[in-house]
Structure 1
Amino acid sequence: MNNQEHPANEPLTVLAFDTSTSVLAAAIVRDGSILDSSVSLTERNHAVRIATEIQSLLARNGMSREEIGAIAAGQGPGSYTGVRIAVTAAKTLAWTWNKPLVGVSSLEALALGAWMELQAAPGAGSGNEGAVWIVPLMDGRRGQAYTALFAAQPDGGWTRIEEDGIRLFGDWLKKLALKAAEGDAGGKPASILFVGQTEPFAEAVAAGADGLAGTRLDLYPYRMHAGAVGLLAERRIRGGERDDAFAFVPNYTQLAEAEAKLLAAREERGR
């Protein structure tokens, strides 16, 4: 990682994209604002479409590569093939354009993007008296979810509570319930918001509500938006963080050893 702080008073334009899900998302972010973005449902054509999407986005805004200050990419986790496409594109652009490269968690971008969209809705924030836990979800198949945990504070603060991982969703719900009951991570949340690819987990969330009595549970289906990728990347860049383009690789994540053994045992019993 290359640390070279970008002065807070200097303009910074970030070209950001993510292909960790069925959505090919791209955006241009400048100084904390999303200038423009695109979202394409091209699950099997990310590799074919990504260059065209980037070119179209720049052309639509009358921008050349010289005006781009940094490249940002969702580093995963998510679709194995999809994550590789964004990482490869980011490395290629960083090398050929001689730009700084920054990777961000695709799960954090999913969580932040959904939260920003909700906060922008009319009447948002009214009656919000405590932290909201944000749980991003991507379907990992076989009862698993790519997920993490973040907290959005009433004062606008944003913190990570749990690292990215692929987890058995039923066990993950139990862990969330325990953390909430114990007031872990800065106190009991006012509500828990599951965002992203929520449909495969809706039934399990409803069934697990008893274990989270007193805590409001909400589901918010949401597609990836690269504006959040760019905003997270800008924070890293202004904090002096960069990634080495040569060493930049996807973050696939994997089941913890105990969970992997449990899943294997379940599959063995099911044969």
Structure 2
Amino acid sequence: MGEQTTQGSRDGRLVLAVDTSTAALAAALVRGGEVLREVQSLAERNHSVHTVSAVQTMLEACGVKPEALDGLAIGRGPGSYTGMRIAVSLGKTLAWAWDKPLVGVSSLEALAYGAWPAASAGADGAAAGRAWIVPIMDARRGQAYTARFAAIGAAPEAANPPADGAWTRGAPDAIRLMRDWTDELAAALGAADDASRPDAVWLVGELAQHEAEAGRLQALCPAVRVHALPHWLEGRAVAALGAKRLAAGERDDVHAFAPNYTQLTEAEVKLQEKQAAAEGAVRHDAN
């Protein structure tokens, strides 16, 4: 954890990346796949205090002016309700003020992508040709924000985007009961043909409450190696995925850009229940 600086190339797309969807504040300044500066700080989700200063420090330390940026890559969740809003709000403000393209990145995909180097090296140095990488963010009560991705071969170096076909999504971002998700993964492995069946499955991320499910998945699928890898989300992964979108000419509408909540907050649920009850009362009175 902390702040790191790497000498980068003077060529290539210059991207500022920020994600505050987890307990780790993750930010990076990347040029052409080279990490110029990176911050990964566990601040007990107190991101509202540190995020702006972290971005300012990175830019100043690298001598980068806002006008030199080619775009902003922002992690839009899923994850912490309050945390997601901090990065999204900051990204919208900076993109508007600096007149720079903004692209959103799945925080779950960034979590998985950042763990790919370890997965591609394999356990005990035995490289896997094809791996499923399953990111896990704890959502309490036996639930997790999760998805599934397939990676082929060695991971790109540093913060380079994935090559076409080497990184694909296998399941959407969602909040799921981990026990049910393990059963779904086992079923997907059982249904996979020889061309798509992975050599290994890696559960990565916040595993303190869910590591036992890796063992259960191994018991359900003994023919596939299952690994558990604790891993914190990295700004360089957000930058790499964002750079791929920017290179394709993509950009999100700054005003419409919003977090991916994946579920309603308790307050929103209560509000909807109250509105539904009020509408029911109106219909009853009308009858």
Name the TM-score class by shorter chain.
Answer: 0.7 to 0.9
Distance 1:241 1:28 in 2: 19
State how 1:1-271 maps to structure 2 within 5 Å.
11-117=12-118, 119=120, 127-154=126-153, 157-183=166-192, 186-254=195-263
Aligned to 1:264: none
Cα distance, 1:207 vs structure 2: 2.9
Distance 2:100 2:172 in 1: 28
Structure 1 residues 59 and 124, CA gap change in structure 2 (3 angstroms): farther
Structure 1 residues 129 and 80, CA gap change in structure 2 (3 angstroms): closer
Structure 1, unmatched stretches of 5+, are: 1-9, 256-271
Determine which structure has greater relative contact order: mean sequence separation of CA pairs < 8 Å that are 6+ residues apart, divided by chain length. 1
Distance 2:119 2:203 in 1: 12
Distance 1:177 1:155 in 2: 24
Distance 1:105 1:138 in 2: 12
Letter in 2 for 1:205: A
Is the 1:18–1:25 Cα contact (8 Å) retained in structure 2? yes
Give the secondary structure class of the aligned counterpart of 1:173. Answer: helix
Deviation by residue 1:212-243 (Cα, 9 ceiling, x = unmatched):
12111101101111100000000001112100
Distance 1:11 1:217 in 2: 37
Structure 1 residues 42 and 242, CA gap change in structure 2 (3 angstroms): same
Number of corresponding residues: 244
Letter in 1 for 2:130: A
RMSD across aligned positions (CA): 2.0
Is the 1:161–1:185 Cα contact (8 Å) retained in structure 2? no
Is the 2:72–2:91 Cα contact (8 Å) retained in structure 1? yes
Structure 1 residues 244 and 70, CA gap change in structure 2 (3 angstroms): same
Distance 2:195 2:74 in 1: 30
Is the 1:113–1:224 Cα contact (8 Å) retained in structure 2? yes
Q: Report the TM-score when normalising by structure 2.
A: 0.80
Is the 2:204–2:229 Cα contact (8 Å) retained in structure 1? yes
Is the 2:217–2:226 Cα contact (8 Å) retained in structure 1? no
Distance 1:52 1:118 in 2: 33
Distance 1:211 1:254 in 2: 29
Structure 1 residues 38 and 117, CA gap change in structure 2 (3 angstroms): farther
Distance 1:26 1:226 in 2: 4
Aligned residues with identical type, % of pairs: 48
Cα distance, 1:155 vs structure 2: 6.3
Distance 2:185 2:235 in 1: 27
> Where has structure 1 moved over 6 Å in runs of 4 or more?
none
Deviation by residue 1:168-201 (Cα, 9 ceiling, x = unmatched):
1111111111111111695211110011101110
Give the secondary structure class of the aligned counterpart of 1:199. Answer: coil
Is the 1:73–1:87 Cα contact (8 Å) retained in structure 2? yes
Aligned to 2:7: none
Deviation by residue 1:24-49 (Cα, 9 ceiling, x = unmatched):
11101111222220111113420111
Letter in 2 for 1:201: H
Select between 180-189 and 237-246 the one with higher mean Cα deviation. 180-189
Structure 1 residues 131 and 87, CA gap change in structure 2 (3 angstroms): same
Distance 1:92 1:47 in 2: 14
Q: Report the TM-score when normalising by structure 1.
A: 0.85
Structure 1 residues 184 and 144, CA gap change in structure 2 (3 angstroms): farther
Which structure's CA Rg is the greater one? 2
Distance 1:136 1:243 in 2: 24
